[in-house]
Every structure is written in structure tokens, then in C-alpha cells.
């Protein structure tokens, strides 16, 4: 694992840099998760093997630092990803983000300009309002969520047998999770949907089969966004079917860039 001190963020972002050919694929995790946990099996799949990949733990999550003064908005996270790409002097990158990480990937895509090759997102947040999970967290004031809200969610996840996600959430800073959830609910202007539809690069939306019908896909194919369905998966695509996710990402990365 490598470490990158994010300028003006008060901490370091840590990431796996898996060697390979072609533009680096930057992989961004969802809320309460960590790329170092979610994506190693996906990255090792034959569908993606041989290409360079960066598995980044966002600030506040996984092995990265948890600076309390950091804002933890979607744009804050996106700027960290862009800063990493620039620090590594990568002339072009592809992005993949899942759920909240999809919103971060879209925001980062808009900031990368000519460095962006392709964008692939898995069931991302596209519009203000957040999802059921992020809305519940954002509704709890930060002091209360820090005091006992996150611990309660971790206990519930453990009781339901979701021990990997419980461990990942427990590793995340509560203030980071709450602030990011609040940012998801507030949304962006322009919306992440509008940004995704307007980008002039190959774009792919990945949906878990068990999430169908998927109303958030409305209008995206007409805007040139390819849609790939992963079988035997719901929203937690990296855990439900990592091989299927790897194949879907590979399909999204097969389109020639400009």
C-alpha cells in the first residue's frame, strides 16, 4: 500500500497501485466502505488482469487518514482523487466508482479534463436526496451520530450477518461518514446526472440484476451512456458478484477513447 499526502487536506490518502499496462483504472468505493476491502478480488479477476489499477481508500475510510477539519463532501473527495492523479503524473486515467463512489467518480471526471479516458459507475448517486442509507445517516445530527449513531448501525449489521461491511464501517470515521451522507442528500449543481450525461467520453452504467427495474437509468441510454447488467447481484455488486463486476467494468473500458 502506498501513501499520498493530499494538499490542504490535513492527511494522507492510501491506495494500492497494482502494476499493469494501459491507462490506470482508479477505483472508488461507496459510503462506509473501502477500496482496499471491496476491490482486490475484482482487480484480480482475469477480465481486468494485466492493466494498472489504483484502489484508493478515500479520506476517513479504510487505511487513509481521518482529518477532522476536512469537509468530506463529494467534491472534496473528488479533488483528492484528481490530486492523486496529478501527483502520479498520469496522462490519462479511467475511473470506476460504486454507489457514493460513483458520485465521486463523476465529480472527479468533470475536474480531470483531458486526463479522463473512460468513466464507469455502478449504481451511483445521481440526484439530490441520497439513498435510503445515506438519508438515514444525514438525518442524525453529527454530534449524535458520532456519539452513538454509527455504533448502532455497526451492531445492526453484525446482527444481520453482514460482518465485512460492519467491520469496514467501524473502521470509518463517524464524522466523515455523516458529512459525506449529508453531501449526498444535498446533491450538486449541476447534478451528477447532468454531468454524467454531458461528458464527452465513453460512459457506462453498471446495474445489479436484483436492482431492476432501475429507475435512475432513465434518460441515460439516450444520452449515450451504455448500460451493463451484472447477474446475481443487487446494489452490493462488488460483494455479490465480483467476477461479474470485473467483466462489466472490462466491457465499459473496451470502448475506444478520443
Q: Does residue 63 register a pLDDT over 70? A: yes
pLDDT tens digit string along 95-142? 999 999 999 999 999 999 999 999 999 999 999 999 989 999 999 999
Give residue 256's pLDDT: 76
Domains of the chain: 2-132+185-252 (3.40.50.1820)
Sheet arrangement for strand 93-98: 2-6, 11-18, 51-57, 21-28, 93-98, 116-122, 203-208, 226-230
CB atoms within 10 A of CB 1: 12
Give residue 97's pLDDT: 98
What's the grid cell of residue 171?
473502521
Give residue 258's pLDDT: 62
Amino acid at each position: 500500500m502506498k501513501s499520498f499526502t493530499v494538499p490542504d487536506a490535513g492527511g494522507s490518502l492510501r491506495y494500492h497501485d497494482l502494476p499493469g499496462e494501459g491507462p490506470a483504472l482508479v477505483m472508488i468505493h461507496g459510503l462506509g466502505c473501502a477500496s482496499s476491502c471491496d476491490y482486490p478480488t475484482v482487480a484480480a479477476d482475469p477480465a481486468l488482469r494485466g492493466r494498472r489499477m489504483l484502489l484508493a481508500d478515500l479520506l476517513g475510510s479504510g487505511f487513509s487518514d481521518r482529518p477532522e477539519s476536512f469537509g468530506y463532501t463529494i467534491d472534496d473527495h473528488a479533488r483528492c482523487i484528481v490530486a492523486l492523479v496529478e501527483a502520479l503524473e498520469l496522462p490519462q486515467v479511467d475511473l470506476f466508482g460504486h454507489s457514493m463512489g460513483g458520485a465521486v467518480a463523476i465529480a472527479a471526471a468533470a475536474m480531470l479534463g483531458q486526463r479522463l479516458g473512460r468513466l464507469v459507475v455502478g449504481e451511483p448517486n445521481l440526484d439530490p436526496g441520497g439513498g435510503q442509507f445515506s438519508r438515514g445517516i444525514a438525518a442524525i445530527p453529527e454530534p449524535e451520530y458520532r456519539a452513538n449513531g454509527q455504533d448502532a448501525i455497526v451492531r445492526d449489521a453484525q446482527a444481520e450477518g453482514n460482518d465485512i461491511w460492519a467491520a469496514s464501517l467501524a473502521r470509518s470515521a463517524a464524522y466523515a461518514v455523516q458529512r459525506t451522507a449529508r453531501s449526498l442528500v444535498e446533491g450538486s449543481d449541476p447534478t451528477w446526472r447532468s454531468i454524467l450525461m454531458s461528458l464527452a467520453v465513453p460512459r457506462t452504467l453498471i446495474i445489479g440484476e436484483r436492482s431492476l427495474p432501475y429507475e435512475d437509468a432513465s434518460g441515460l441510454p439516450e444520452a449515450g451512456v451504455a448500460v451493463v447488467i451484472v447477474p446475481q447481484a443487487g446494489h452490493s455488486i462488488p460483494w455479490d458478484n465480483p467476477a461479474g463486476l470485473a467483466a462489466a467494468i472490462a466491457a465499459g473500458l473496451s470502448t475506444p477513447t478520443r
